[in-house]
Structure 1
Amino acid sequence: MFAIRMAALVLAVLSTGLIAGVFYAYAISVLPALARTGDRTLIEVMQKINVVIINPWFMFGFLGTVGFTALAGALHLGRDQRGTLVWIAVALALNVIAFAVTAGVNVPLNDALAAAGDPAALAEAASVRADFEAAWVRWNIVRAVVHTAAFLVLCGALFAAGVQQGKSVAAPADGVAGQSVSRHIGDAPYFSVNQGR
């Protein structure tokens, strides 16, 4: 069961890290570069990006931020995993917030940009750009920061899960602390450890 819990947690870390990286890359390279282009160029490029980014690789990460984190949380329900579950719950809340920003702000802006039509035929390209660019850039930074925070918290969850597993493995040995342990083959002792020192 530990291996299944850890696999779900690793997938949550992976998907969240990938998406945080995508939005980070937008913030530090794609959008600053497009800011230096003309109105029609920005509109055309963003329209194309918003089409090609809907692919299985992106959706694995994007949906996985919430899906895999929720799965990891469900698998860590129980008293013994409570320490790890707290970390996962915080990460899930952060991923849901960032997911909501994308669905509630960035996607509608993308849809409005697509609805504007062919950039070459736009009479008011500057107005279309103004309605899109500033808000999209601002909220992209917000979701990048929130997903990055969720990634860091999930790394904390991995650490907490490892510590918890270490404690549970060590617990049987702790139960005999202070006692002399002797094992026998037949009647002859072959191993003796005094743990009372």
Structure 2
Amino acid sequence: MFAFRTAALVAATLTTGLVAGVFYAYAISVMPALHRADDRTLIDVMQKINVVIINPWFMLGFLGTVGFTVLAAALHLGKGSRTTLIWIGVALLLNIIAFAVTSGLNVPLNNQLANAGDVGQIGDLAAVRAQFETSWVRWNVVRALLHTLAFLVLTGALFVAGMQHARAGAVAQAAPAASAASAWPFPVQPGFPPAQQFAPQPGFGSGQR
């Protein structure tokens, strides 16, 4: 069970980190570069990007930020994983908010840009750019920050889960020894196993004269 829980948590962390990286790259390179380009270039490039980015690899990561985090939370519902579950819950909330920003704000702007038509047929390129660029860049920064925070929290969840598993393993190993010690009817001297302390000694009840 621990393996399944860990795999789900790693998948949630990985997909969240990848998507945060995509939006981070937009924020620090793609959009600043396009900001220096003319209206026609920005509109044409963004229209093309918004088409090619809808591919299985991106969608797996994008949907996985929420899907895998939900799965990880479901697998950590046990009493022994409560602390890890809190960390996962925080990350899930951040990923859901970021998902909502993308779906409710960035995607409609992408659709608006697509509906403006082919760049060669747009009459007022500056107006189309003005309606798209500033808002899209702002909300992209917001979703990048949210996914980055979720990634950091999920990293913390992995650490906490590992510590809890190690602690549970130590307790499980100590339990048999404690049980054996409590079952021995005589006091045990430090440094000597019980079997040696109370084994028959030569000359004392051993049949030797």
Q: Is the structural similarity TM-score above 0.5?
A: yes
Which 4+ runs in 1 deviate beyond 4 A?
177-181
Q: What is residue 163 of structure 1 aligned with on the other side? A: 163
Q: Which has the larger radius of gyration?
A: 2
Match of 2:62? 62
Q: Distance in 1 between matches of 2:114 and 2:86?
A: 41
Matches within 5 A, 1:65-76: 65-76=65-76
Partner of 1:26: 26
Alpha-carbon distance, 1:177 to partner: 5.6
CA distance in 1, matches of 2:41, 2:172: 66
Cα distance in structure 2, aligned partners of 1:59 and 1:192: 61
Unaligned runs of 5+ in 2: 183-191, 195-209
SS at 1:37 equivalent: coil
Number of residues of Structure 1 aligned to a counterpart in Structure 2: 184
Shift of 1:172: 2.4
Inter-partner Cα distance in structure 1 for 2:168 and 2:130: 57
Q: Does 1:93 align with 2:93?
A: yes
State the match for 2:151 in structure 1: 151
Does the 8 Å contact 1:180/1:192 carry over to 2?
no
TM-score (norm 1): 0.89
Q: What TM-score does the superposition give when structure 2 sets the normalisation length?
A: 0.84
Aligned to 1:104: 104
Unaligned runs of 5+ in 1: 182-190
Report the CA distance between 1:27 and its aligned residue: 0.3
Counterpart position of 1:36: 36
Secondary structure of 1:86's match?
Answer: helix
| 1:173 shift after superposition | 3.3
Q: Displacement, 1:104?
A: 0.2
Q: After superposition, give the CA deviation of every residue in 1:21-46 in whole Å (9 maximum; x if it has no partner).
A: 00000000000000000101100000
Give 1 or 2: higher strand fraction. 1
Percent identity of the aligned residues?
66
Residues 170-195 of structure 1: CA distance to partner in whole angstroms, max 9, x if unpaired? Answer: 002343469869xxxxxxxxx959xx
Let me know the Cα RMSD of the aligned residues: 1.8
Q: Distance in 2 between matches of 1:30 and 1:192?
A: 70
2 CA distance for matches of 1:32 and 1:192? 72
CA distance in 2, matches of 1:192, 1:168: 26
